[in-house]
A and B are shown apart, each in its own frame.
Chain A
């Protein structure tokens, strides 16, 4: 039996926060000075710290995450190549800790996508046209809701149109069931042992 390690992800219906910038890097999502923690929790307070707060420590009212509606939103809608840069898993941890369960974009950086899937944050890559349609609809009605269904891999926009997205089948299985990959890898013990017996180690660090 594999242990349930995260909240299973099935369907999500929520309003959105829109952050249309492209190439949002993980240094913006969670600046490095907050990486001195040895915990996973508590990073939401520093999510987008340098964009949310000005040089005098005051919240910037124009920043989307500071809008009063943002607190109820579980979906972040961002521009292309979201999560580029460092491998810090603190980025998805911070997004989750703030209250997000999914990020919609047209593309994600590889390591960010991997990290997000492993922590229960769903990266939803829509086609460019579906993404622009969504941005237009949210510009018109900012509090409109979007439904993300992982089972059917569809995102339903405020106007009711459904758009497909793809998640790796294994990651999808893990998310739907709230299990992580470690359980699966631990079950591969015999195969790993067999590999080790036919491939001599290249180095010994001891």
Chain B
């Protein structure tokens, strides 16, 4: 009899080409490899220099998202801002052509942020291993897939062999029970978790999210949670699949059909942690006690309830933490003890692989409907994929945003990463639904406050950081 296993342990065991030994890590098989323009060119170059083919082009899919402009593409193929970005996009086209990889390029109606399109196309399925040269690959864990980010060398290894060398990570349970109060979303849950665990607190671990609050979330909300697992340092985040998962996958382009579907669901139902499985560590959170969260500092763990106060560095546990906090407050131009409510912002960004799916846009639109973006504020709404964009337009959400005075953009990473023309100016402040508030992440000298789509929309119409619960 096998001993009780966690979900992670089950998926891990099922993908071992060779188990790990003292001297060599495990050889782990990747069921799906997602590729984008920024972290792949040097990997393809490596293959070319060794004369190695791509082992499994049929398990590989590429898209363009990071250095891709999101300005209107009405004039046919979009104009790419600078020569370097355009060379990078062309290089991906050349590489995919040469190595036989399917590419959802800029003119493909399925193009979008890599972590939005995998699930949307039904490629992300329970029990799989999924890798991508991008740290937010953890997003796909929402389906009970072991998904993690890799570097460019590893992108090359997977292209050439479909495998990776990995030491088995440890396993941490994050249990969230209870019912979420009004105005509190998945984004607030994950920001609260990161604040509790710390920016590097989950290093070396795969997180498994359990509990009634997680079960009650839809797939897009689960993706928001798993997406930011990396911000606590985790290798991956996982949520066991259930009927919510199966309902989401059913009928999507790459999902199994007919008898294959039935067999898949039977297999997927076995993917939950055994009753008595044990974790290396556990943390708990009570959903009912949560408030909308917002970051005040320069890493995602520096977050407080929106009606809370900026902490005092003098209360920090160590000298290094205090220095870290001091530096963050100086960069953000904040004082200890201050409230963030009412702080003016220049930009509001709704988008990124964390919060750019249809439910995120619906939430933001519900707040914006009949209201107007405050004078002096620029609001960008950037759907995560062309599919999301079409769906939103069919529902009239684009009209809501445009009538409110926001910009409605093409799909891409946009202002999450500021390498495609969408960026903050030095000294500007933004409330963003993205995942990183590192110094300069949204543009050199820019200041980022991370929050949910509800908080972002409430801020846009108020012109200053606002609590969505107190909008009339």
The verdict on A89 contacting B419 (CB below 8 Å), with A169-B23, A182-B157, A192-B29 known, is: no
Residue of A nearest to B301 (CB): A23
CB of A87 closer than 8 Å to a CB of B: yes
Is B167 part of the binding interface, using a Cβ–Cβ cutoff of 8 Å?
yes
A85 at the interface (CB under 8 A from B): yes
A185 an interface residue at 8 Å Cβ cutoff?
yes
Interface residues of B in 160-209 (CB under 8 A from A): 160-165, 167, 169, 199-200, 203-204
Query: Considering the chains assembled together, what is the distance between the CA atoms of A186 and B321 in angstroms?
Result: 44
Contact of B200 among A23, A31, A86, A186 (CB under 8 A): A23
Contact B57 A206 (CB under 8 A): yes
Q: Which residue of chain A lies nearest to B443 when distances are taken between CB atoms in the complex?
A: A33
Partner of B58, one of A25, A35, A206: A206
A63-71, A96-104, A111-119, A145-153 - the one binding chain B = A111-119
Give the total of B residues in contact with A, Cβ under 8 Å.
83
Q: Quick check: is B217 within 8 A (CB to CB) of the other chain?
A: no
Q: Report the minimal beta-carbon distance from B261 to chain A, rounded to whole angstroms.
A: 13
- Chain B residues with Cβ below 8 Å from A55 are 426, 444-445
Given contacts A33-B418, A118-B151, A182-B160, contact A202 B439 (CB under 8 A): no
Give the interface SS of chain B, mostly helix, strand, loop or mixed: loop
Q: How large is the interface on A (under 10, 10 to 19, 20 to 34, 35 or more residues)?
A: 35 or more
Nearest-CB residue, chain A, relative to B126? A202
Question: Which residues of chain B come closer than 8 Å to A203, judged between CB atoms?
Answer: 31-32, 59, 123, 125, 128, 254
Q: What is the minimal beta-carbon distance from A97 to any residue of chain B, in angstroms?
A: 13
B114 interface residue per 8 A CB criterion: no
How far is B110's CA from A97's CA once the two chains are assembled, in angstroms? 38
Segment from A11-19, A36-44, A136-144, A158-166 that makes contact with B: A36-44
Residues of B within 8 A of A88 (CB): 38-39, 151
Task: List the A side residues contacting B23 at CB < 8 Å.
Answer: 169-170, 173
Q: Which residues of A contact B154 (CB under 8 A)?
A: 114-115, 118
A192-B41 CB under 8 A given contacts A36-B88, A87-B150: no
Of the candidate stretches B79-87, B279-287, B340-348, B383-391, the one touching chain A is B79-87
CA distance A191 to B60 in the complex (A): 20
- Which B406-439 residues have a C-beta within 8 angstroms of A? 417-419, 426, 436, 438-439
Segment 8-60 of A: residues with Cβ below 8 Å from B: 20-23, 25, 27-28, 31-33, 35-40, 50, 55
Q: Say whether, besides A38-B41, A170-B25, A110 and B204 are in contact (CB < 8 Å).
A: yes
A79 beta carbon closer than 8 Å to chain B: yes
**Which residues of B have CB within 8 Å of A39?**
42
A12 to B115, CA, bound (A): 41
CB-CB under 8 A from A205, the residues of chain B are 32, 57-61, 101-102, 123, 254
Whether the pair A35, B199 counts as a contact (CB closer than 8 A) is no
Instruction: Tell me, rounded to whole Å, the shortest Cβ–Cβ distance linking B213 to chain A.
Output: 27
Tell me how far the C-beta of B265 lies from the nearest C-beta in chain A, rounded to whole angstroms: 13
Known: A111-B149, A168-B25, A199-B29. A27 touches B438 (CB 8 A): yes
Contact present for A202 and B32 (CB under 8 Å): yes
Are B165 and A181 neighbours in the complex by a CB distance under 8 Å?
yes
Per-residue contact bits, chain B 350-377, to A (CB 8 Å; 1 contact, 0 not): 0000000000000000000000000000
- Is the CB–CB distance between A36 and B161 below 8 Å? no
Q: Specify which chain B residues have a CB less than 8 angstroms from the CB of A37 in the assembled complex.
A: 84, 88
- The closest CB in chain B to the CB of A187 belongs to B161
Q: How far is the CA of A38 from the CA of B45 in the complex (A)?
A: 9
Within 8 Å of chain A (Cβ to Cβ): is B440? yes
B327–A109 contact, CB under 8 A? Answer: no
Contacts of B320 in A (CB 8 A): 20, 22, 79-80
A84 touches B417 (CB 8 A): no
Decide if A38 touches B88 in the complex (CB within 8 Å).
yes
Q: Which residue of A lies closest to B45 (CB)?
A: A38
Asked if A201 lies at the interface with its beta carbon under 8 angstroms from chain B, I say yes
B55 surroundings in chain A (CB, below 8 A): 192
Q: Please name all residues of chain B whose beta carbon is closer than 8 Å to the beta carbon of A188 when the two chains form the complex.
A: 17-18, 27, 161, 163
- B17 with A28: CB separation less than 8 A: no
A87 x B133 contact (CB < 8 A): yes
Q: A5 vs B340: C-alpha distance in the bound complex, in angstroms?
A: 51
- A25-B438, A27-B438 given; A111·B135 CB < 8 A: yes
B134-166 interface code vs A (CB 8 A; 1 in, 0 out) = 110000000000000111111011001111110
In contact, A27 and B123 (Cβ under 8 angstroms)? no
Q: Are A22 and B88 in contact (CB under 8 A)?
A: no
Please name the 7 residue pairs, one residue from A and one from B, whose CB atoms are nearest each other, closest first: A81-B200, A115-B151, A38-B41, A89-B151, A36-B84, A118-B153, A87-B149
Please name 11 pairs of A and B residues whose Cβ atoms are closer than 8 Å in the assembled complex, sorted by A. A27-B441, A50-B445, A80-B200, A87-B134, A89-B153, A90-B152, A110-B204, A182-B153, A186-B52, A192-B161, A201-B56
